[in-house]
Amino acid sequence: MAKKNAFYAQSGGVTAVINASACGVIETARQHKKYIGNVYAGHNGIIGALREELIDTNEESAETIAALKHTPSGAFGSCRYKLKSLEESQGEYERLIDVFKAHNIGYFFYNGGGDSADTCLKISQLSKTMNYPIHAIHVPKTVDNDLPFTDNCPGFGSVAKYVAISTKEASLDIKSMCETSTKVFILEVMGRHAGWIAAAGGLATEQEDDAPHIILFPEIAFNKDTFLTRVNHTVKKHGYCVIVASEGTRYHNGTFLADAGSVDAFGHKQLGGVAPTLASMVKNELGYKYHWALADYLQRAARHIASATDVQQAYAVGQAAVEMAIAGKNAVMPAIIRGEGKTYSWSIQAAPLEQIANVEKMMPRNYINKDGFHISEQGRNYLSPLIQGEDYPPYGKNGLPLVANLKKVFVDKKIKKTFLI
């Protein structure tokens, strides 16, 4: 295979470890100079390709690239921008081909979630429909943990660890003061359609009666009476009640408990405000003093307490993506496969994008216990390995974590025509 350059882009909501995948891609590409020339990173994701705004990662030192492994956020910039079908957006696809041709790009690594898998699949199809040879590999990333095939999604393990630890710490706080102060604490976490992140809060329960006492999943229809009865029972029994609520908590008819009303670029409803809604119910119906927290971006950006397992896997999928591309694979995603046996183990295998794009993996019902308010043993067995190990970033003398400081040298533009997004 002739030597080609690679294009790498970050897509959608960023995570604490997406840059670890970038690190895996770039470091591995550097080890295979025979096949891959330069890795160009899209400035702000796929938009960078459309605008011909390519960051030359060759200009970054080995130390800077290594530092990506402990840098949260999307170091090259990410975007919420979904390419439509080939028919609907022919201009965009033609532009991508023009840019790829101009910069001799033969490898496309797209680091994102379900929507990005779809884009990646479309790019791979350009090989046929537009007669441009390109190897398109999707690098999995999403805190929502909703990609199929892969055992879990890089980014999720670190959110899960953050949520489990935060739930545990806040629960100890409330427990120690509940006699004369707050009785009910609610932590609202991300998870639009699937309760994976809320489920992770359940890991804080290490012994019977440990908080959280109630987890609200999008998968289980919310019933106000059942909920309040459980809260009241818990406060009467333990003196306090800790609730982890998914932002996607909804009634039987599908209505979200709180709906901010706005819509993101992918047409998804933007949520927020389940915790205050629940707090009001508790206050009005039961009269208990409450507190609530909404972690929002803090949870997905929390590189300071990333799961070591997650960091390793995020790096590994980046590495595997390059190895698969060099091996001639196309339209695949490196998926994490969980080993058999009691001790947790994992490996990477290629999974076909055609069966991944636009498929949302829901949490199995048997990961939730019978009454629908906590995780089951199966759920715990699945989740627990994903938060194991601590991978601390280095800190400066000023007490703040150190992050990669990219030079971001742009590749000279070769196409005269500008492209308006």
Is 313 labeled as ligand-binding? no
> What is the C-alpha to C-alpha distance for residues 241 and 225, in angstroms, rounded to an integer?
16
DSSP code of residue 179: T
By beta-carbon proximity to its own copies, the closer residue of 60 and 323 is 60
Binding-residue pattern over the window 80 to 119 for its own copies, x denoting contact by CB under 8 A: xx--------------------------------------
The string of DSSP codes covering 264-312 is -TTSPEEE--HHHHHHHHIIIII---EEEEE-THHHHH-GGG-BHHHHH
Sequence length of the chain is 421
Q: In whole angstroms, how close is the CB of 113 to its own copies at the nearest point?
A: 13
Q: Does 151 bind its own copies (CB under 8 A)?
A: no
Q: Does 72 bind its own copies (CB under 8 A)?
A: yes
**Between the CA atoms of 33, 35, 38 and 39, what dihedral angle is there, to the nearest 10 degrees?**
-110
E strand segments, 21-177: 36-42, 54-56, 105-112, 135-140
By beta-carbon proximity to its own copies, the closer residue of 355 and 405 is 405
Which residues, 6 or more positions from 37, have their beta carbon under 8 angstroms from its beta carbon? 3, 4, 5, 6, 104
When binding is defined by CB under 8 A, the residue of 31, 85, 181, 345 that contacts its own copies is 181
Q: In whole angstroms, how close is the CB of 61 to its own copies at the nearest point?
A: 19
When binding is defined by CB under 8 A, the residue of 136, 170, 320, 353 that contacts its own copies is 170
Q: Which of residues 339-398 bind its own copies (CB under 8 A)?
A: 384, 387-390, 392, 395, 397-398
Q: Does 196 bind its own copies (CB under 8 A)?
A: no
CA count, 13 A, side-chain hemisphere, 299: 29
For residue 349, the tally of other CB atoms under 10 A from its CB is 14
- Tokens in use for 248? 């996607």
Size of the site for its own copies (CB under 8 A): 75
- Given the rule CB under 8 A, which of 22-30, 78-86, 108-116, 364-372 is the region that contacts its own copies? 78-86
Which residues, 6 or more positions from 301, have their beta carbon under 8 angstroms from its beta carbon? 14, 15, 16, 72, 73
Q: In whole angstroms, how close is the CB of 296 to its own copies at the nearest point?
A: 4
Q: Does 62 bind its own copies (CB under 8 A)?
A: no
- Three-state DSSP at 233 gives helix
Is 13 labeled as ligand-binding? yes
Binding-residue pattern over the window 399 to 418 for its own copies, x denoting contact by CB under 8 A: xxx-x---------------
Q: Which of residues 247-306 bind its own copies (CB under 8 A)?
A: 262, 264-265, 270, 272-273, 276, 283, 289, 291-298, 300-305
By beta-carbon proximity to its own copies, the closer residue of 251 and 395 is 395
When binding is defined by CB under 8 A, the residue of 63, 87, 179, 209 that contacts its own copies is 179
State CA 104 to chain mean position distance: 30
Burial 5-21 (b: 16+ CB within 10 A, else e): bbbbbbbbbbbbbbbbb
By beta-carbon proximity to its own copies, the closer residue of 87 and 208 is 208
By beta-carbon proximity to its own copies, the closer residue of 276 and 352 is 276
Secondary-structure percent of the chain, ordered helix, strand, coil, rounded to 5: 40, 20, 40
Q: In whole angstroms, how close is the CB of 115 to its own copies at the nearest point?
A: 13
Which residues, 6 or more positions from 241, have their beta carbon under 8 angstroms from its beta carbon? 183, 184, 185, 211, 213, 214, 231, 234, 235, 288
Is 144 labeled as ligand-binding? yes
350 touches 56 (CB < 8 A)? no
Q: Helices H, strands E: what count in the chain?
A: 12, 13
Catalytic, out of 118, 144, 146, 391:
144
By beta-carbon proximity to its own copies, the closer residue of 254 and 267 is 267
Is 190 labeled as ligand-binding? yes
Is 27 labeled as ligand-binding? no
Q: Does 180 bind its own copies (CB under 8 A)?
A: yes
Q: In whole angstroms, how close is the CB of 127 to its own copies at the nearest point?
A: 27
By beta-carbon proximity to its own copies, the closer residue of 224 and 283 is 283
> What is the C-alpha to C-alpha distance for residues 119 and 48, in angstroms, rounded to an integer?
15
38 touches 168 (CB < 8 A)? no
* 144 catalytic residue (yes or no): yes
Active site residues: 144
Residues of the binding site for diphosphate:
13
Residues of the binding site for substrate:
142-144, 190-192, 247, 297-300
